[in-house]
A and B are shown apart, each in its own frame.
Chain A
Amino acid sequence: MSCSPFDVRDYYFKELAENERRLTEVHVKTCAHCREELDRMRGTEIALLALPDEEIPQRIGFVSDPVFEPSAFRRGWEALWSSAARLGFASAAMLSVALLVFSLTRPAPQASAPSPAITRAALETEVSKRVNDAVSMAVAQSESRQARDTQALLAASDRRHALETQEMKVRFEEYIEVERKRQNATMLASNDAGSPTGDVR
């Protein structure tokens, strides 16, 4: 069980952060137990380092042989796929080229092909025109019907007026005849009263 604020073995291998290292260093100066631990670590390491590195029995080297060398295309291809950055750049470049080719080869927009805004405006105009025509036709038909009715009423009135005039004329003639007869009768009566013997002639 370590009494150090941090593992003295990490401290020994210089694996602590700077502030941790300083705190442990202060502790180790005053802690005999941790100093012994460090001494044991040092002793073990020194013993292990008694096993020296050996020289390699045979040097390793490669010769340049074009037969075994990957082609420039293959090297580039492998380099492209082995790097996300290169692959991303290549994708962006391909997209740019595709956009450029599309913009250059795209057919010109046709004049007869109206834009959605134009189609909407024309449609509204057509609807308005048709509504106005329908209203005009309805008004014309109504006026025509009213004119015919008026004409018929006038004709009927004229006929009734003619009949009434004819009837009044007949009645007036009858009245005149009755009056003439009555005056004749009165005249005859007065004549009879002015001559006592009778004949006035």
Chain B
Amino acid sequence: MIFRAVEDTDLIRKACRGDVEAYNLLISRWERRVYNYLLRIVANREDALDLSQDVFLKAYQNLRKLDDPARFAPWLYRIAHNEAYSLFRKRRPEGETEELQPETLEGAATLGGNAVFPVELTLAVSSALHKLTADQRETVVLKIYQGFKFEEIAEIVSAPVSTVKSRLYTALELLKAELAPVKARGVS
């Protein structure tokens, strides 16, 4: 059970009145999740960190436009989605559809210096994720890693729920096929 003396909605209201400390507390609750979401989309730690800072700056500047503080999470991820896709457009030459090349995320296999998952599986997952299209990968990240509902994902990526489900289930079929040899070797 996570006990929060102050709810996010209270922090948002205080931040709207110019309370920077309240906003910093709000950031501390969300920065890791937003960073990892962006990291799995752009596959580059430096870009993910820069984008995360931009996301929280833009969120602060537009916080007063958020009508319902209870909808903070989809709203924040919507900003992150826009920032990530803005980066894609900047980096991608005109007319080229190939996506960004992911950096090697070997470090993902360790957490605090201790091995958490077998390196082989972690690398296989990272590689499989980056064989998906950007839209499919983002949907998988939002559903599997961030735990959003279909309706929230649809709001974040500005697409119908049916499209979101189609992207997710197609991506999962592809991932299942990609990861089957690794799992067959007994690494799971």
Contacts and interface: CB of A to CB of B under 8 A. Distances in A.
Q: Determine if chain A interacts with chain B.
A: yes
Interface of A: 9-10, 13, 15, 40-41, 43-64, 69-70, 75, 78-79, 82-83
Given A44-B172, A50-B117, A51-B108, 15 more contacts: A43-B176, A44-B175, A48-B175, A48-B179, A49-B145, A50-B118, A51-B117, A52-B111, A52-B116, A53-B36, A53-B145, A59-B31, A60-B31, A60-B56, A79-B64
Contacts of A60: 27, 31, 52-53, 56
Given A44-B176, A47-B183, A52-B111, A9 B35 contact: no
Interface stretch (B3-11, B18-26, B81-89, B92-100): B18-26
Contact of A64 (B21, B107, B182): B21
B31 A43 contact: no
B36 A47 contact: no
Most B CB contacts (10 A, CB to CB) among A13, A40, A56, A69 go to: A56
Interface in B110-156: 111, 116-118, 121-122, 124-126, 129, 140, 143-145, 149-150
A47 B64 contact: no
B28 interface: yes
A52 B172 contact: no
B117 A57 contact: no
